[in-house]
Structure 1
Amino acid sequence: MEIPDGWTISVDGKALEKSFRFADFSEAFAFLTRVAMHAEKVDHHPEFTNVWNRVDFHLTTHDTGGITERDKKLADAINRMS
């Protein structure tokens, strides 16, 4: 499986993970807003946490119990938005 740039596979092998850091909370939140708009459009919603300037993603397709092409495409889109 080809992993999108900068992403890793979770310890259990069922998700793609990546952390992003920004200058401050406002930049991190603006980034999350862009990701949310895209996720709604493609109907594939990421798991994420946000602590001040950091955003951590955990992408998996719950219906299949693992990583699918939808997760890889979302990871690529998230990379482009960062």
Structure 2
Amino acid sequence: MDIPDGWALGADGKSLHKSFRFKDFSEAFGFLTRVAMHAEKVDHHPEFASVWNRVDFRLTTHDADALTDRDVMLATAINKLL
């Protein structure tokens, strides 16, 4: 399984992690909104935290208790939404 650019395998081996930084809160929130709309469309939802100009993601497939192709595809899509 190839890990998309800028993403890191979590210490648990079951997740992908990446942080994004933006100019301000509005840019970060706009990005997060685009990700949320895509996640809803593909029915695969990320864990995230948003603090002012930063959005942190953790992707894992809870049903499988593992990292799956769905997580890799979502990470790739998130990169493209940037």
Question: Scaled by the length of structure 2, what TM-score is found?
Answer: 0.98
User: Aligned with 2:18: secondary structure?
Assistant: strand
Q: Which residue of 2 aligns with 1:62?
A: 62
The yes-or-no answer on 1:73 pairing with 2:49 is no
Structure 1 residue ranges (4+ consecutive) displaced by more than 4 angstroms after TM superposition: none
Q: Deviations over 1:27-47 (max 9, x none)?
A: 000000000000000000000
Identity over aligned pairs, percent: 72
Residue number in structure 2 paired with 1:22: 22
Encode CA deviations 1:8-40: one digit per residue, 9 max, x unaligned.
000111100000000000000000000000000
Cα distance in structure 1, aligned partners of 2:46 and 2:53: 18
Q: What runs of 5+ residues in structure 1 fail to find an aligned partner?
A: none
Counterpart for residue 37 of structure 1: 37
Q: Which residue of 2 aligns with 1:3?
A: 3
Q: Secondary structure at the match of 2:56?
A: strand
**1:54 deviation in Å?**
0.3
